[in-house]
Structure 1
Amino acid sequence: MGRGSGPRTGGSGDAEGGGDAGERQGCHSFGVDEQLTAAVRAAGGAERWFATQLTPTSVADPSATVHTWWPRLGHTPARAWAEVKSGRSGAWQYGFDLAQYSMVQKILTRRQLQEVLHDVWSNLLYVPVGHDRSFPWRFHYDQTLRGLALTSYRQLLRAAVVHPAMSGWLNNDLNTKRGINENLGRELLELYTVGRASGYTEDDVKDSARLLTGHKVKVFDTFAASYAPEDHWTGRVRVLGFTHANAAADGRPALAAYLDHLALHPATAERVARRLCVRLVGDDPSPSLVRSVTAAYRSSRSDVRATLKALRTHPEFLAARRRTLRAPVEDVVASVRALGIRPVRFRGTDAFPANLVWAAGRLGQEPYGWPRPDGYPEGSTTWASPSRMLGAWNQHYSLAGRWNSADGQAFPAPASVLPTAFPRTLAEIVDHQSLLLVGRPADATTQAAVATMLNRASGSVYKTVADVSGWHLTLIRGTVLNTPEGMLR
């Protein structure tokens, strides 16, 4: 937003296109920036913007080719394995490329609702990046989940469970009628659908694994994926009310029916609904909210759009601003977006996207680097340690001060983020930055903190733009980002 326009709220409190709209859409995005605020206004308000976001293909997205910045992401599985086998690359490098891409995609995409839901499903249907048994397929898996993020959980589950990245990660390539491997069959029940409280038994786990036989990946040997009917276990199966003769050598229809049964199971509906409520509302959603969202999930047969509509029209969602702490990845991304920093195509390896990954990692959350199949926790209390908070505060000053000299970043001109008319008092400049960065005026505590850091009275006057030094602007902007308003969803 230019210097002559009001910062984020336009100074008017306009709920249609101002601070209220931006804050509400912050719940559906990885942080409010100038483009999001402009998009809400152009759409005619928050409700219309949300409606367009529900159909991501209707939103023009310049970030669609960002993945080409990392050529390895375009490799076929066979090529990726050949690169690693020859020593030209490592599996970790494929994972690091994908981690960088994920950070940049979160910053640049204009399909912000799709990206938030992609992140939710990526943490639920979790496959880490850079794992030796899944890395050649991990980018394809990423794109698969993104494309299905706003369809239905039934479709997501079908696609994820049989995907070669999932098979490699959880050893389903080793699961045959001659030797049942229960790994994926168990996680399918425990993590991806009904959960332990549903009361499934070890016999259920075994039949779950039997239904998954036949899906093959040539791990450590081209990584080609296929279906082998001769490896599929046949015979009647029973899992949590699902029964199937499973008599055909091609067990894929039986598996599809089983996955649909799990996706639509009441226990799955409640668990998915609660997970969405925790991510988009707060750590301890009310029973009323969870019931409402669960009912929408069930009545729509797991339709994500219908489920989200029920969530966002509930009074608890409308009162949910700034109730939960951003996770580290969100924190880094939201800060970059608010500060107007844009990742751009880079040369070499010492690049801004790599620094973003490292920044999130220093705060405890390397993108998709969780070592267990359950994915990163969605609740915010995980990220509330003193070390994380201190790290985040330092990171905000670093970003605000442009202390990172890596290639691949574009900054707004300092004058473009300051008021047009001068002279201005320090208090007025702090207010302006607070409106611009967090969507609301600075409170007395923030004003006092900035004045103390600068050893300057809040009423002291800056006569011109040039009087606002880079150091002063860094301390003002970093301090605003360090307020609760700058740290909370």
Structure 2
Amino acid sequence: MSTRASAAVTPAVLPSTWQHIANRFSFGVDESLAASVRSAGSANAWLRSQFAWSTITDTRSAEVISWYPRLKDSPSAAWARVKADERSAWDYGFDFACYSMARKILSRRQVKEVMADFWSNLLYIPMGEDRSFPWRYSYDSVIRSRALTTYRSLLRGTIVHPAMSGWLNNSSNTRSGINENLGRELLELYTVGRPSGYDEDDVKNSARLLTGFSVRVFDDFAASYSRADHYRGRVRILGFTHANSSSDGRPAVNAYLDYLARHPATAKRIARRLCVRFVSDTPSSSLVNAVAKTYLSSDTDIRATLWTIARHPEFLAAQRKKVRTPVEDVVNVARVLGMAPTGSSSGESFAQKIIWMCNNMGQNPYTWPRPDGFPETSSTWTSPARVLRSWDMHYNLAGNWWGSQEVTLPARADQLPTQWPCTLGQLVDHQSRMLLGRAASGQLRAAVASALNLPETYAVTSAAKVTDWGWVVIRGAVLNTPEGMLR
């Protein structure tokens, strides 16, 4: 496999447009991903191949669940462990967050991984939440299996899932006692949004239609459909009407969810959120309209919608205009440094420590307190405190200063030039190409030389002459450049 780590002092990098596409649709362009793009022949061809995710072998990522066997506990078994004080809802949630982060780092199915993250943040359920935790891994599996299918399919699989029913109180929503929580959020957050003009009657009818989905919360968490609890009677929600005369309301619910998924207002909301994630905080109306048009004409097909984004001139012109969130930052740095988790048997494991790294930078995975998910806007993540903590974390990761265990670290010799001597400036450029996929700027070379109190022309005669401190300063400084924090 060809990589950027060649014998040359200046390793080859991907063309800028290819690098841009790979950066936006992955969690970090490491050596393996760069090689995959080259092998595909172009970034667009690579993206197409990623859409066919089931054809991509992903052994290491698939093995991660074996590190967290309790995530596969049945709901009743999970609740029994909590009642016996063997585990807590938080323990299940922490395992889930570690599992998710490890998959982001290890997966070769990067577009699917990115979209699973995107939908998990839109159709959001926090980790370790008391009413949903026994079903959280199952919920994630539904999102993963449908992340590159259609939004209609995603809505059908998630809205009535036991985890969602617990989290947004639909388990308490019956014909004799309507709970509007899920019915309201379905309209406000997951589909048409407030500008669509729905009113309180629409919210009530939305909730009425969702009655019957039962979860025995704080009992054994068993899930079922109760015909006796389903509200019967004609409903009207926006332009949707249904007789809803059967005691089994599930066909009516599916028709309702399909209607919402196909609604033009939903198309605009999903298109805009996708554009904010993949293009810029302020996507133009022409871009949003183009994406929404594809969404509707393809019957909510996610791959077709993403393809429209990737081919749009506004996307192609948006290089280095999105800031990585803290979660994306940690995952990207781990990937480009070649730090791969191998297990999670103790608190010293890399898979667990990266959670606290994210937390230090202000984004503990799956802990946003509201059902609207973490903000997708870059402006949210650019406070001075966050930037300073990211800079510090880059040095920590570059030197593994947290002493993480259960992690593979590539040999330094495999990450350095194989032709010597080279100047300090050339070595900085080499690492910039390795970690960022682009040449180092004059400012970066000068900054590293100043930090090491050496001239840029200083001759490094062999790999052995690169000190531990110098190695961390060079790599940390490269990662701390604006380009290192942009995707």
Q: TM-score range by the shorter chain?
A: over 0.9
Instruction: Pick one of 135, 159, 167 that aligns with 1:137.
Output: 135
Q: Cα offset for 1:309?
A: 1.1
Taking the aligned partners of 2:179 and 2:171, their CA distance within structure 1 comes to 9
Q: In structure 2, do the counterparts of structure 1 residues 188 and 137 end up closer, same or farther at CA, with 3 Å as the change threshold?
A: same
Taking the aligned partners of 2:213 and 2:14, their CA distance within structure 1 comes to 55
Identify the residue that residue 160 of structure 1 maps to in structure 2: 158
Does the CA contact (< 8 Å) of 2:136 and 2:163 recur in 1?
Answer: yes
Greater shift, 63-72 or 161-170, is seen at 63-72
Identify the residue that residue 59 of structure 1 maps to in structure 2: 56
Instruction: Pick one of 101, 104, 120 that aligns with 1:103.
Output: 101
Q: In structure 2, do the counterparts of structure 1 residues 226 and 277 end up closer, same or farther at CA, with 3 Å as the change threshold?
A: same
2:49 corresponds to which letter in structure 1?
A: T
Identify the residue that residue 248 of structure 2 maps to in structure 1: 250
2:213 corresponds to which letter in structure 1?
A: H
Q: Cα offset for 1:5?
A: 4.8
Identify the residue that residue 201 of structure 2 maps to in structure 1: 203
Does the CA contact (< 8 Å) of 2:4 and 2:31 recur in 1?
Answer: no
Does the CA contact (< 8 Å) of 2:78 and 2:134 recur in 1?
Answer: yes
Identify the residue that residue 276 of structure 2 maps to in structure 1: 278
Aligned to 1:32, what secondary structure does the other structure show? coil
The answer to whether the aligner puts 1:46 opposite 2:48 as a matched pair is no
Taking the aligned partners of 1:314 and 1:211, their CA distance within structure 2 comes to 39
Identify the residue that residue 72 of structure 1 maps to in structure 2: 70
The equivalences for 1:283-322 within 5 A come to: 283-322=281-320
The answer to whether the aligner puts 1:169 opposite 2:131 as a matched pair is no
Q: In structure 2, do the counterparts of structure 1 residues 349 and 315 end up closer, same or farther at CA, with 3 Å as the change threshold?
A: same
Greater shift, 286-295 or 62-71, is seen at 62-71
Q: Cα offset for 1:424?
A: 1.0
Does the CA contact (< 8 Å) of 2:5 and 2:434 recur in 1?
Answer: no
TM-score, normalised to structure 1, is 0.97
Aligned to 1:455, what secondary structure does the other structure show? coil
Percent identical among aligned pairs is 56
Does the CA contact (< 8 Å) of 1:121 and 1:149 recur in 2?
Answer: yes
Identify the residue that residue 326 of structure 1 maps to in structure 2: 324
Identify the residue that residue 176 of structure 2 maps to in structure 1: 178
Q: In structure 2, do the counterparts of structure 1 residues 80 and 392 end up closer, same or farther at CA, with 3 Å as the change threshold?
A: same
Q: Cα offset for 1:333?
A: 0.3
Q: Cα offset for 1:347?
A: 3.1
Instruction: Pick one of 100, 111, 114 that aligns with 1:113.
Output: 111
Identify the residue that residue 409 of structure 1 maps to in structure 2: 407
Q: Which residues of structure 2 form unaligned runs of 5+?
A: none
Aligned to 1:355, what secondary structure does the other structure show? helix
Taking the aligned partners of 2:7 and 2:54, their CA distance within structure 1 comes to 30
2:447 corresponds to which letter in structure 1?
A: A
CA RMSD, Structure 1 to Structure 2 (Å):
1.3
How big is each residue's C-alpha offset from its partner over 1:230-264, in whole Å with a ceiling of 9 and x where there is no partner? 00000010001000010000000111100111111
Taking the aligned partners of 1:261 and 1:139, their CA distance within structure 2 comes to 28
The answer to whether the aligner puts 1:488 opposite 2:448 as a matched pair is no
Aligned to 2:224, what secondary structure does the other structure show? strand
Q: In structure 2, do the counterparts of structure 1 residues 46 and 352 end up closer, same or farther at CA, with 3 Å as the change threshold?
A: same
Identify the residue that residue 227 of structure 1 maps to in structure 2: 225
Greater shift, 391-400 or 458-467, is seen at 458-467
How big is each residue's C-alpha offset from its partner over 1:372-413, in whole Å with a ceiling of 9 and x where there is no partner? 010001111111111100000000000001212122111111
Does the CA contact (< 8 Å) of 1:91 and 1:132 recur in 2?
Answer: yes
Q: In structure 2, do the counterparts of structure 1 residues 5 and 43 end up closer, same or farther at CA, with 3 Å as the change threshold?
A: farther
Q: Cα offset for 1:216?
A: 0.4
Taking the aligned partners of 1:71 and 1:312, their CA distance within structure 2 comes to 38
Taking the aligned partners of 1:379 and 1:87, their CA distance within structure 2 comes to 40
Aligned to 1:127, what secondary structure does the other structure show? coil
Taking the aligned partners of 2:56 and 2:266, their CA distance within structure 1 comes to 31
The answer to whether the aligner puts 1:30 opposite 2:30 as a matched pair is no
Does the CA contact (< 8 Å) of 1:433 and 1:477 recur in 2?
Answer: yes
The equivalences for 1:336-415 within 5 A come to: 336-415=334-413
Identify the residue that residue 4 of structure 1 maps to in structure 2: 6
Q: Cα offset for 1:10?
A: 4.1
Taking the aligned partners of 1:213 and 1:113, their CA distance within structure 2 comes to 35
1:479 corresponds to which letter in structure 2?
A: A
Does the CA contact (< 8 Å) of 1:31 and 1:334 recur in 2?
Answer: yes
How big is each residue's C-alpha offset from its partner over 1:425-471, in whole Å with a ceiling of 9 and x where there is no partner? 10000000000010111101111111111111111111111111011
Q: Cα offset for 1:3?
A: 4.4
